[in-house]
């Protein structure tokens, strides 16, 4: 799959898995909702129940900004399988900046839940350096 198709398939997915690692290289993998804008992926800390808004993914990105995000489509017909990945550099955007406000607007345009209750936490931005993927077809 070429990078343009990988980006398109990634952009159309509703959920991704975000992989970060701490300074010791311990991986951390979580599902995220997101929006792709140009070559940047945005996700926000939202109001879903969490123990804290000081999330490990954010601490990991501050310590080690190299991240990957993956979307995929599984089907019992294995000839229909595909995945798309974005590798890049993560940034944590402070609440109230122009970029974080725009990202939340984009997220609200994509997810009804964010139109009803806008995210209150920091925004994660991933500057994608490489789109890649695979498809059985």
Model confidence, pTM: 0.93
Q: What is the pLDDT of residues 18-49, one digit of tens each?
A: 999 999 999 999 999 999 999 999 999 876 55
Query: How far is C-alpha 85 from the geometric centre of its chain's CA atoms?
Result: 10
| pLDDT at position 48 | 58
Both tokens assigned to 45 = 């800390």
Both tokens assigned to 34 = 């997101």
Range of the domain at 73: 3-135
Q: What CATH number does residue 15 fall under?
A: 2.30.110.10
- The total number of structural domains in the chain stands at 1
For residues 70 and 87, the answer to whether their CB atoms sit within 8 Å is no
Number of helices and strands (H, E) in the chain? 4, 7
């Amino acid at each position: 799959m070429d990078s343009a198709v990988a980006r398109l398939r990634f952009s159309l997915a509703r959920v991704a898995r975000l992989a970060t690692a701490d300074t010791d290289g311990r991986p951390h993998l979580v599902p995220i909702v997101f929006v792709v804008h140009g070559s940047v992926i945005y996700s926000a800390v939202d109001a879903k129940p969490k123990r804290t808004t000081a999330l490990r993914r954010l601490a990991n990105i501050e310590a080690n900004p190299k991240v990957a995000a993956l979307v995929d489509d599984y089907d019992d017909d294995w000839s229909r399988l595909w995945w798309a990945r974005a590798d890049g550099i993560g940034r944590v955007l402070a609440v109230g900046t122009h970029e974080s406000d725009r990202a939340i607007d984009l997220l609200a345009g994509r997810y009804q839940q964010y139109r009803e209750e806008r995210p209150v936490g920091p925004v994660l931005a991933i500057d994608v350096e490489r789109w890649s993927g695979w498809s059985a077809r």
